[in-house]
């Protein structure tokens, strides 16, 4: 893949550079609750501006249904980007319409604009190649050069990710280049012991990556809602915990394969369980009990790993040379159930090996719990993209950037 530095050799001053970023930040109304993805792409945008480019930033936000929806406007992200780069950022109220054309036409060298949400247009996510291509043609008319830097979207075959690079000279932004470098450390010439920590709600979301890791990782630590399907497969009572019964045969197979392959698959040994899911708005104190993993009451659900499991998981991480962590191991949005996720983060900080926080909810949890992002080896901006890379899949957005 070419880089921005390769493009700069031919000169970028005065050129319209379309940056496919990932500004898909969580919002509470119009307030950004975690600006990590904006901060991650800000250096690329600032670099292009310093090179004299007319920078056109585009992104999706949320899942609007192919039509404008004020709840998913990128205006708050554009305003935050302006604060981070220390200059005014113009905002187009559409993506390829009159406002976008006018805003782009008005850009001077080193100036930046953000287009409205790409997904307000049905062509962005269409499965029809012609419809998607027609939208990519409209986007291409706005620019001279394409820079892909939205790592969180490279696993999507969308117009701005997959089709647009074919229509313009293109290169990978610094963020994508960094992400790919890190992922290669997790898949090629991995330093061992290699420990993977997987959390999150559904085991079905992680089946493919578990399947791949059973041939690569030395230890696989399972927490979060997905752990209860594993515990049920062992014959344990899991009460009203999150459970995917249809996945029990597959999970059983994976546990057998782990044993056969010499992969240490580590499950929780104790659980924080409650009859009530916590109120995540008021954060009112929760009523829970701590029980062994095989003693979850029938009327309660597991909401976090317990203190013995936190110590166990930390001990399995301590001597690792490489650690990949994806997914909180409890309901980390509530203070009473954030202890397990906090313990995983601390274990990574105490580990001398190369540590990667695999994007999405785990990256947001690290920031919300007050940890210094720079203390980790790498915090990814793309949870789904990272997992699909580790699964060995070809990611459309990365393939499109290759020459």
Written as one string, the DSSP assignment of 125-158 is: H-S-HHHHHHHHHHHHTT-SEEEE--GGGTTS--
185 is annotated as an active-site residue: no
For residue 153, the model assigns a pLDDT of: 96
Judge contact between 12 and 53, C-beta under 8 A: yes
More confident site: 16 or 391: 16
Judge contact between 384 and 361, C-beta under 8 A: no
Instruction: Check pLDDT > 80 for residue 403.
Output: no
Binding-site residue ranges for substrate: 22-24, 37, 60-63, 119, 156
Binding-site residue ranges for ATP: 206, 302, 333, 359-362
37 is annotated as an active-site residue: yes
- pLDDT tens across 208-220, in order? 999 999 989 999 9
Q: How far apart are CA 385 and CA 395, in angstroms?
A: 8
DSSP 203: G
For residue 366, the model assigns a pLDDT of: 86
Rg (CA), the chain: 22
Give percent of the chain with pLDDT exceeding 70.
100
192 is annotated as an active-site residue: no
Q: How far apart are CA 147 and CA 364, in angstroms?
A: 25
Binding-site residue ranges: 22-24, 37, 60-63, 119, 156, 206, 302, 333, 359-362
For residue 30, the model assigns a pLDDT of: 93
- pLDDT tens across 332-382, in order? 999 999 999 999 999 999 999 999 998 678 888 888 888 888 889 999 888
Which residue among 52, 239, 306, 360 is the active-site one?
A: 360
Q: The whole model's pTM is what?
A: 0.90
- 265 by DSSP, 3-state: which? strand
330 is annotated as an active-site residue: no
Q: How far apart are CA 307 and CA 176, in angstroms?
A: 37
Judge contact between 46 and 85, C-beta under 8 A: yes
Q: Establish whether domains 4-177 and 190-390 are of one fold.
A: yes
Cβ contacts of residue 93 below 8 Å, gap of 6+?
Answer: 99, 116
CATH class of 190-390: alpha beta
Give the number of other Cβ atoms within 10 Å of residue 323's Cβ. Answer: 26
Judge contact between 234 and 269, C-beta under 8 A: no
What are the boundaries of each domain within the chain? 4-177, 190-390
Which residue among 2, 101, 167, 202 is the active-site one?
A: 202
How do 270-274 and 301-305 pair as beta strands?
A: antiparallel
| Alpha carbon distances (Å) from 338 to 283, 331, 387 | 12, 6, 23
Binding-site residue ranges for (2R)-3-phosphoglycerate: 37, 119, 156
Q: Which CATH number fits domain 4-177: 3.40.50.1820, 3.30.1490.100, 3.40.50.620, 3.40.50.1260?
A: 3.40.50.1260
């Amino acid at each position: 893949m070419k880089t921005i530095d390769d493009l700069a050799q031919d000169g970028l001053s005065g050129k319209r550079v379309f940056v496919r970023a990932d500004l898909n930040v969580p919002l509470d109304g119009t307030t950004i609750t975690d600006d990590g993805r904006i901060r991650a792409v800000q250096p690329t945008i600032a670099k292009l501006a310093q090179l004299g480019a007319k920078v056109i930033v585009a992104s999706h936000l949320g899942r609007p249904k192919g039509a404008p929806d004020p709840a998913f406007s990128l205006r708050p992200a554009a305003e935050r980007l302006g604060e981070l780069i220390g200059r005014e950022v113009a905002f187009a109220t559409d993506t390829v319409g009159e406002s976008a054309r006018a805003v782009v036409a008005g850009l001077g060298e080193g100036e930046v604009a953000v287009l409205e949400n790409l997904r307000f247009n049905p062509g962005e996510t269409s499965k029809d190649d012609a419809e998607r291509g027609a939208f990519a043609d409209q986007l291409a008319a706005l620019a001279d050069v394409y820079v892909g830097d939205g790592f969180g979207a490279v696993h999507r075959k969308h117009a701005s990710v997959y089709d647009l690079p074919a229509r313009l000279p293109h290169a990978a932004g610094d963020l994508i280049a960094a992400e790919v470098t890190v992922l290669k450390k997790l898949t090629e010439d991995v330093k061992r012991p290699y420990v993977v920590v997987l959390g999150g709600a559904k085991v079905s979301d992680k089946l493919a990556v578990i399947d791949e890791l059973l041939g690569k990782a030395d230890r696989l630590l399972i927490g979060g809602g997905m752990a209860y399907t594993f515990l049920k497969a062992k014959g344990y009572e899991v009460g009203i915990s999150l459970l995917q019964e249809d996945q029990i045969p597959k999970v059983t197979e994976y546990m057998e394969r782990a044993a056969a392959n010499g992969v240490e698959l580590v499950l929780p040994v104790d659980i924080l369980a409650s009859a009530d899911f916590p109120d995540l708005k008021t954060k009112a104190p929760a009523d829970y009990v701590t029980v062994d993993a095989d003693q979850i009451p029938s009327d309660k659900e597991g909401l976090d790993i317990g203190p013995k499991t936190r110590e166990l998981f930390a001990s399995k991480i301590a001597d690792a040379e490489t650690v990949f962590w994806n997914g909180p191991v409890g309901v980390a949005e509530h203070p009473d159930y954030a202890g397990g996720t906090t313990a995983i983060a601390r274990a990574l900080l105490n580990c001398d090996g190369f540590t990667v926080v695999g994007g999405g909810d785990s990256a947001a949890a690290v920031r919300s719990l007050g940890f210094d992002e720079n203390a980790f080896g790498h915090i990814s901006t793309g949870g789904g993209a990272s997992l699909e890379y580790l699964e060995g899949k070809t990611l459309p957005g990365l393939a499109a950037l290759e020459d």
